[in-house]
Structures are given as structure tokens and as C-alpha cells.
Amino acid sequence: MLTARRLGKRYGEKRVLRGIDLVVPRGGFLVVTGPNGSGKTTLLRICAGLAQPTEGTIERGAERAQVGYLAHEPLVYRELTALENLELYGRLYRVPERRERIGMVLERFGLWEARHDRVGSYSRGMTQRLALCRVLLHEPELLVLDEPYSALDEAGAELLDAQLAELRGDCTFVLSTHDPARVDPLASGRLALAA
Amino acid sequence: MSYVRDVGALTRKDLLLELRARDTLPAMLLFVAAVFVVFHFALPGTPSRLETSGLLWVAILFTALLGLGRAFVPEREQQTFDGLVLAPCDRSAIWLAKSLATLAFLVAAEVVALPLYALFFHRVGGATVAAVLLADLGICGVGTLLGAMAVATRARDLLLPLLFLPLAMPIVVGAVGASVVDSPGRYLGFLALYDLLFAVVCWASFEYVVAE
Amino acid sequence: MLVTTALVLVFFVAPNDASDLGFAQRIFYFHVSIAFAAYACFAGGAWNALRHLWKRDPRADLESYVCVHQGLIFGTLVLLTGSIWAKIAWGRWWIWSEDELVLFLVLYLFYCAYFMLRFSVDPGPQRANLSAVYALFGVVLIPVSFAAIRLAKAYFHPEVFTLHGPNFGGWILVTYCVAQAAMLVLAYTLYRLELGAKLLDLRLRRLREVLV
């Protein structure tokens, strides 16, 4: 699903990544760890197709429409309601039976009651749950999750645990985390980036 | 067809954002009215139609700049560019939708500004209205692309007028020409040509502005 | 060598203008040929920008930047020589009716904004993309602005190829061609020099990085 060879990335004179080799087979689950500033986010952005490597090659077995990327930022509009945000992304991703699908993911992450509230009034944990809804809305084949647990409360984290376990096998995962023990049972591969 | 639907969804989002935040359009309206008042005191005596129509265009240009500077603020502050860029739609749809939303605000501001201008200074002719509409297309198309550039820089709001004004010079020539001469056909044609030319360039190059 | 030949030709061989401008009109040879060299630089910048967007070659970005930089240097010279010419011919340092001078003022502002843009973004693919898109806007702006200026103003500057009619030919043509060739060669040499220095600098930094 994802094959990278001698991957490197530099921003001008600053080198962020160098010589990364990775292979994630279809249905694989790669856990990326490393201290802050080791290039985890850059690597994940390259995996998601948001950034291009400056050295080496990457092959992605998924179209842009089949990638789900969870960033540090929730990538939703604070002035819009949860429903409006998901409506927008649902339209852009051409999700079939949009209404039902949106209702389903909102229900799954416990946001159905708050669907008409503006995201600006949400707590951090709720916003992160909405971000997860956005990522899973179009049923992506490749899920790139950048520290998905960082902003979640314990209840949200458990919901995510259950969701990951359910999708394990059907989807391919690249996940970065500070707490590798949490996803250890799911992992099929590990990559530790040095600072 | 799906391109049109993408643009529709994105435009709807931009209009909805303004409806909720309500900070761009009122600012543009107040600004243009205040500029007219300043012009009155900046022009001693009774200024001719020629002079005031030049000022009308300065007012429109700077009001547009105000709106364009705000255009990508939601995307910047909430860093949603990545979300839009990752979506499978054509990236130029983001530009087109944002241009349409900005155009709506600018036209709304002018619906107030032109009667106000007629009230304060001189009558507004049909050719001027046509020029306003054609110029608006160019201003919003080019300005939106440059706005997306400016939000990616450190200087941000400072940079947009610097990037925009040299490119807006031909618009001013066409628009002022159409407002003051007797047969404005040539100038309106020039504005239309400008719109077409730069729309194609913006449409083709927006992808590179937002994606690596 | 070519530059020296051009200087000799311009100052000693080319016949004086039939008008009363006399010796001083010789600056015009430089003015026009420098302007053409500047256009060539801007065009080269846009061409390399296009190459960068097409091939994603970071070297093309650097080449585009160096081209625009040289263009700006030559553009400054155009404004200076144009201003001197205006002083000699009309007794004023600035003449709005001289199309090419006005065009270069607009282009000068445009390309200064290019530098502001470039220095306001961190080095990397985004900076390269934004610079490339803006440089492409530049070559679209040149003809559009030129048309705009002609539309805006009456055209009464002595055009080299028409007003000099009877005088034109022989040594004037030869002198002009040599001056033009000299300026193009000079521009190209400076371009190679700056590019070479920049590439060397880049290689040194990489080397230092490897050593550390």
C-alpha cells in the first residue's frame, strides 16, 4: 500500500528527514514514534500526499479520495456546526448516502446531540472527535493519523481504540504516537525516528 | 458537473462563514463610506466628474483589498487549507469558490457605494456600472489568488497590497477610461480581456499556491 | 569586448540626431537596449518558473530567481537612463507620457513585490511555487500593462523606428544592434556569474553539513 525508498525532506537548508525506508502492506499498521522535532509530522504529511519528498521516492496504493489524514489541527471550521462541516467534506468527497453516513459517524463518536452547535463552542476533546469523524467519513483505505490520542479525553480514547480495532485489517494505517503501548496490540510494524 | 457542485459547496461554506462571523462586509461598507468623506475634504472646491471618477476607483480598489485580505483568514486561523487540499476535488475549485464569495461581498458593498457616490459627488452612468462589474471580476479573481499567496507568508496582510496593486493597474486604466470617455467600448473590451486572461492564469496556477 | 565596441560606436561613430538634442541623445541607444535586456531577463525568469512548476526542479527555481534579480538590476538602469533622457529631451526628470518608462515603473514595483514575497517565505517547495506563480504573472502583466498604458495616454514620444525615419539606417542601425547584443551578453554573463556563485554557496553548505 505504501512503499518509500531513501525518503528525505529538506526545507531549504534545514534537513527534516533523511534516508527513511518503509513498506506498509495493505492492511498493515505502522506505528511511528520519535521525540518532538524528529520529523514525525513531516513523514506523515508525505504519506498522506500533502508534502512531496525532496529525496527518494514514495508510492501510494491509494487515490487522494481514499486517504484519511488526521492532523494536529482538526481541519474543521469553528464558525460552522459539526453537521455543516461534515456536509462540506461529505460533498467534496462525494460520499454516497451522505446524510446517513454523517449521522452514523456522529453517533459513533457521541456528537449527535451537539451536531447543531458551532465547533467553536466545543471542548478540545469534542473537536478532536469531530476531526476523527471527518477523517472516517468517506471510509478511506489509507488512514494517516498524527497523534490521534493527544487531544482526546479517556472516553474518546476508548472510542478510538474500538474504532481502530474494528477497522484493523480492512484499512491500512500509519499512526504516530507518544504512547506506543496503547496501540501495541494492533501494530504490524514500528518505525522509530531519531531526533 | 461535479466541478460545479464542488464550487457550490465551497462557496456556500464561504458565505456561511461570513454570515456567522459578520466581519468582512460591514467593514467594507463602513470603509467605503469613510473614504468618500475623506475624499470630499481632500478635494478642495468643486471637483469635476473626471477627478471624482478617479477617486471612485481608488475607493473601490481599496475596499476590495480590505475584503481580499480577509478572504483566507478562516483557512489560515483554523489551518483548514490541508483539509481542502486533500479533498479529491480540483484545487482550482477552492480559488473559484473563494473568488465568487469575495465577489458577492464586493458587489454588495458597491450596491451601497455607488448610490452614495452619486449622492455625494456625481451621477453614475451605465458605462461605469458595466465597468464596475467587469473590474470586479478581475479584482476578485486575481486578488483571491494573491490573497492565498499572502496568507502563506510571514508578512501576511502587509504583502497583499504590494502584490496586488501593480497587477491592478490595467484594471484601473480600463475602468477609469470606461467611466470618463464618450465611447467606452474599447475600455470595456480591454477589461473583459484582462478578466479572461488572468482567470485562465489563476485557474491553472492556484494548485501550486496551495499544494507542494 | 562587445560592450567596449558598443561604447565606441555609440559615442564616436553614430551620427548626431537631426534634432537639437545632439550628443546627449546617444544615451537612448543604451536605454532601449537595456530595456530589451531586462525584458529578456523577466522572460527567462518566467520560463524557468514554468520549468520549475512542470518538472519540480529546485535548480529551475534558483535560475528563475537569478533571472528576475538581473531583470530588476537592468530595470533600475532603464529607469535611470530613461529619467536622464527625459531630463535632456524635455527638461524634466520624469515624464508620464513616455510609455516604456511608465511600464518599467509598474514592472519595477511588481518585481520588488516579488522579492518581498520571496523573502517572506521560508526556503522550500512552497517558496519556490509561490515565486514561480508570481513570476509567471509578470510576463502576462508586461503586454497587458503596455496595452493599458497606450490606452490611457496619448503617445507622443519620439519612437526610434518611426520618427527617426530619414535618419534611420547605416550607422544608427549598426550601433543599435551592437549595443543590443552587448547588453544581452552582459546580462547573460552577470546571470551566469550570480548563478554560479549561488550554486557554489549551496554546494559549500551541503559539504559543511556532511562534515558536521
B173-212 tens-digit pLDDT: 899 888 888 778 889 999 999 999 999 999 999 999 998 8
The sheet carrying A2-11 orders its strands as A14-24, A2-11, A55-60
- Integer-rounded Cα radius of gyration of chain C: 20
Phi, psi for A6 (deg, rounded to 5): 45, 45
Candidate from C56, C123, C125 with C-beta closest to A13: C123
Strands A172-176 and A142-146, bridge-based pairing: parallel
Q: Cβ separation of A12 and C127 shorter than 8 Å?
A: yes
Residue C164 pLDDT grade (very low, low, confident, very high; cuts 50, 70, 90): very low
What would the mean pLDDT of C36-43 be, rounded to a whole number? 93
- Residues of chain A with pLDDT below 50 are none
Question: Cα(A52)–Cα(A45) distance, rounded to whole angstroms?
Answer: 8
CA distance A185 to chain B (A): 30
| For residue C160, pLDDT beyond 60 | no
Judge residue B142's burial from the number of C-beta atoms within 10 Å of its C-beta, 0-12 exposed, 13-18 middle, 19 or more buried.
buried
pLDDT at C15: 54
Cβ(A177)–Cβ(A38) below 8 Å: no
Q: Cβ separation of B153 and C132 shorter than 8 Å?
A: no
Residue B5 contacts A, CB cutoff 8 Å: yes
What would the mean pLDDT of C130-141 be, rounded to a whole number? 95
* ipTM of the prediction: 0.91
Q: Cβ separation of B85 and A93 shorter than 8 Å?
A: no
pLDDT at C22: 55
Candidate from B145, B170, B212 with C-beta closest to C145: B170
Cβ(C111)–Cβ(C71) below 8 Å: yes
Cβ(A39)–Cβ(A45) below 8 Å: no
| For residue C7, pLDDT beyond 80 | no
Q: Cβ separation of C124 and A13 shorter than 8 Å?
A: no
Collect all residues of chain C within an 8 Å Cβ-Cβ radius of residue A12.
122-124, 127
pLDDT at A1: 85
Positive or negative CA dihedral for C92, C96, C98, C102? positive
Cβ(B110)–Cβ(B56) below 8 Å: no
| For residue C73, pLDDT beyond 60 | yes
Strands A67-70 and A14-24, bridge-based pairing: unpaired
Q: What is the DSSP letter of A118?
A: B
- How many residue pairs from chains A and C have C-beta atoms closer than 8 A? 18
Please state, in angstroms and as integers, the Cα–Cα distance from residue A36 to each residue in A40, A44, A178, C5, following that order: 8, 14, 9, 62
pLDDT at C93: 85
Candidate from C120, C145, C151 with C-beta closest to B177: C151
User: What share of chain A has pLDDT > 90, as a percent?
Assistant: 68
Q: Cβ separation of C122 and A54 shorter than 8 Å?
A: no
What would the mean pLDDT of C102-116 be, rounded to a whole number? 93
Which is higher by pLDDT, C49 or C11?
A: C49
List CB contacts of B85: < 8 A, sequence separation 6 or more. Answer: A50, B91, B94, B210, B211
Nearest to A174 by CA among A10, A50, A11: A50
Cα dihedral: C31, C34, C35, C37 (round 10)? 160
pLDDT per residue as tens digits for the range B57-77: 999 999 999 999 999 998 988
Q: Along chain B (212 residues), what's the average pLDDT of each consecutive run of 10 residues? A: 92 93 91 93 82 89 94 89 92 96 96 93 90 96 95 89 95 88 86 96 94 83
Question: Cα(C46)–Cα(C134) distance, rounded to whole angstroms?
Answer: 9
Q: Cβ separation of B174 and C148 shorter than 8 Å?
A: yes
Candidate from A13, A14, A52 with C-beta closest to C125: A52
Buried b (16+ CB within 10 A) or exposed e, C77-98: bbbebbbbbbeebeeeeebeeb
Which of C52, C119, C120, C122 has the most A C-beta neighbours within 10 Å, making it the best mutation to test the interface with A?
Answer: C122
pTM: 0.90
pLDDT at C161: 43
